[in-house]
Amino acid sequence: MSKQLEFWGGRGRVEVNRFVDTCPVCHFAGTFEEHAARHDEADKRLQIVYSCKRQECVSFFIATYRRDWMCRTTEYELTSLQPWAPEAPPIAEKVAAMSTRYAEILKQAAFAENLGLDEVAGGGYRKALEVLVKDFVLTRDDLDGEQRARIPKMFLGQCLKEEWIPDDMIRDFGERAAWLGNDEAHYEREWLGMDLGNLKELLQLTEAAINTHLRRHDYTSAMPKK
Ligand SMILES: [Zn+2]
């Protein structure tokens, strides 16, 4: 449903599909202060300079609205918010502490995806998976020096064997994420019905299973038996 957007301090007004309700820099919801606006009827474009009132942010940004060039509607559509900063994907605290590198690669892959770089984002998620799995295996306290040196060099598929990861839930999700991750890195896709969304979901499920495993270990160590 259209909304009335006022600008020039209330002197200008158009119908829009939506208001700006989230800062594109800090991603917090709020209301924003208007500093300047430019409305070009011929170009069917409205640009408004806002600032975020949040203390930690106080960034300026430009909202651009455009209207259908055929004038089939009177409504302006919000088409861009610039500058835009990538939002780090949520990550379980325990997992982030276990592998800061995984957290960083995941953030970069999400950044690439948000920029529309869908041909390379998948490769980033695939790398995030490998680092997640290997850093998890390296948390085992029963590994000898030779094993510790070998794990980083192993193929991901080998690391996902029962010998290294006895938890079958982690293996079930991790193996499937690895299969789809390979599709993102190669010329042809093997899993035709699956896409980047499935890879991301399987990566999240692998992360969640690892988090559950680590939390379980924390609680059973702290409270071994009654
Ligand atoms: Zn902000």
> Separation of 92 CA from ligand 1 center, angstroms?
24
Residues 6+ apart with CB under 8 A from 167: 209, 213
What does the pLDDT look like over 149-192, one tens digit per residue?
999 999 999 999 999 999 999 999 999 999 999 999 899 999 99
> Separation of 30 CA from ligand 1 center, angstroms?
8
> Separation of 221 CA from ligand 1 center, angstroms?
42
Buried b / exposed e over 115-140, threshold 16 CB at 10 Å, is eeeeeebbbbbbbbbbbbbbbbbbee
pLDDT at 41: 86
> Separation of 51 CA from ligand 1 center, angstroms?
8
pLDDT at 16: 96
Higher-confidence position of 62 and 41: 62
How large a percentage of the chain has pLDDT more than 70?
100
The residue type at 186: H
> Separation of 73 CA from ligand 1 center, angstroms?
31
Mean pLDDT of 116-129: 93
Contact assessment for residue 110 and residue 89, using Cβ atoms and an 8 Å cutoff: yes
The average confidence (pLDDT) of the chain is 94
What does the pLDDT look like over 81-94, one tens digit per residue?
999 888 889 999 99
The residue type at 74: T
pLDDT at 24: 94
> Separation of 47 CA from ligand 1 center, angstroms?
18
> Separation of 115 CA from ligand 1 center, angstroms?
19
What does the pLDDT look like over 134-143, one tens digit per residue?
999 999 999 9
> Separation of 64 CA from ligand 1 center, angstroms?
17
Largest CA distance in the chain: 76
> Separation of 86 CA from ligand 1 center, angstroms?
12
